[in-house]
Structure 1
């Protein structure tokens, strides 16, 4: 695997390998931070903190878990710490309402509202439920990878996901009925 070769090279002091590795993971780190924290600035801060921590702790990474699992554990823990320190505020980014020249504006507007409602519903979940939802559905982690990332028993991960889905169904019930949340 190319990733494992980069990790080993970075651990042995190859600065170029470490920079390449950090560039490969930065988007996933930001995406996780954004969906857990729900705020662009907080996500940027958490991403930067996570990348610095990965940079300084790469030598302590052991191949017991996949590298991406180790990375997600770091970013998730940083986000949970930030979340505990101050409740996040939900912001709607202006760049999310981008339309293409050939698009159906009505559909694009509806889609942006749906995405906003989903994000707001995820933001209302308790922090651990939010973390498992982000890792499962946005990062496409397996249950085992989530358990490793969050240092939780597998059954706890399953329970958190089950409860999170129930909460999301309640929060988004108007969509299930064919209506729009309002």
Structure 2
């Protein structure tokens, strides 16, 4: 069932249908929040708060944007509020290979190394560049969706991604790891 149909049903009084949206977006939202908060517990709590806030404000949702982008924008704001409250600014990439189901141990090790390297390299980028690249290449959001999440114009998103890829390329060249085996994600990002 499409998001718009679920939202229509929830607004019509079938509140149990909202669970479908939670089930659909919970895992990717938590992964996105881990990147900002660097804490699984905080990410889970923030995701719950975002789902609750979205539910409470569902009547304000505009079909102009995809529900996913609207939800991510709410979650990002919750995360930034939490960070301000705790007076810390942390940006990290989660170890997404924990849920990896590939049986080949060598591939698992390479994927973990790549994720760690990507996390380390993205730490060197300005925050908005790292977030834009993460949302585009790991969460596969459109430019319009990223603009909504980051609360900037689409033109800024394009600039962030372009400049982020350029800085990423410079960092990789400086470290002499561009073109090496076992870094397909980074190669994919900088070659697009």
TM-score range, shorter chain: 0.7 to 0.9
Find the partner of 1:176 among 175, 178, 181: 178
Match of residue 58 from structure 1: 58
Question: How far did 1:96 drift?
Answer: 3.1
Gaps of 5+ in 2: 183-192
Q: Distance in 1 between matches of 2:75 and 2:172?
A: 27
Superposition TM-score, scaled by structure 1 size: 0.80
CA distance in 1, matches of 2:94, 2:22: 28
Cα separation, partners in 2 of 1:46 and 1:52, compared to 1, 3 Å: same
Gaps in structure 1 of 5+ consecutive residues: none
In 2 relative to 1, CA 41–122 (structure 1 residues): closer, same or farther, beyond 3 Å? farther
1:167 partnered with 2:167:
yes
Q: Is 31-40 or 79-88 further displaced after alignment?
A: 79-88
- Number of residue pairs matched by the alignment: 179
The aligned counterpart of 2:88 is: 86
From the superposition, tell whether residues 133 and 86 of structure 1 become closer, same or farther in structure 2 (CA, over 3 Å).
same
SS in 2 for 1:172: helix
Which has the higher mean CA deviation after the structures are superposed, 67-76 or 107-116?
107-116
Give the aligned partner of residue 142 of structure 2: 142
Instruction: From the superposition, tell whether residues 152 and 92 of structure 1 become closer, same or farther in structure 2 (CA, over 3 Å).
Output: closer
**Aligned residues of 2:35 and 2:93 also touching (Cα < 8 A):** no
How much is the aligned-residue C-alpha RMSD, in angstroms? 3.0
Shift of 1:170: 3.3
1:112-148 deviations in Å (ceiling 9; x for gaps): 1111111232244333222212221122122122223
More contact order relative to length (CA 8 Å, sep ≥ 6): 1
TM-score normalised by L of structure 2: 0.76
Q: 1:26 to 1:154 in 2, by over 3 A?
A: same
| CA 1:111–1:69: 2 relative to 1, 3 Å | closer
> Partners in 2 of 1:154 and 1:139 — Cα distance?
17
Distance 1:154 1:121 in 2: 24
Does structure 2 conserve the Cα–Cα contact (< 8 Å) formed by 1:11 and 1:58?
yes
Contact residue 132 and residue 160 of structure 1 kept, 8 A: yes
Matches within 5 A, 1:59-138: 59-84=59-84, 85-88=87-90, 96=98, 103=104, 105-138=105-138
What is the CA-CA distance between 1:76 and the residue it aligns to?
A: 2.1
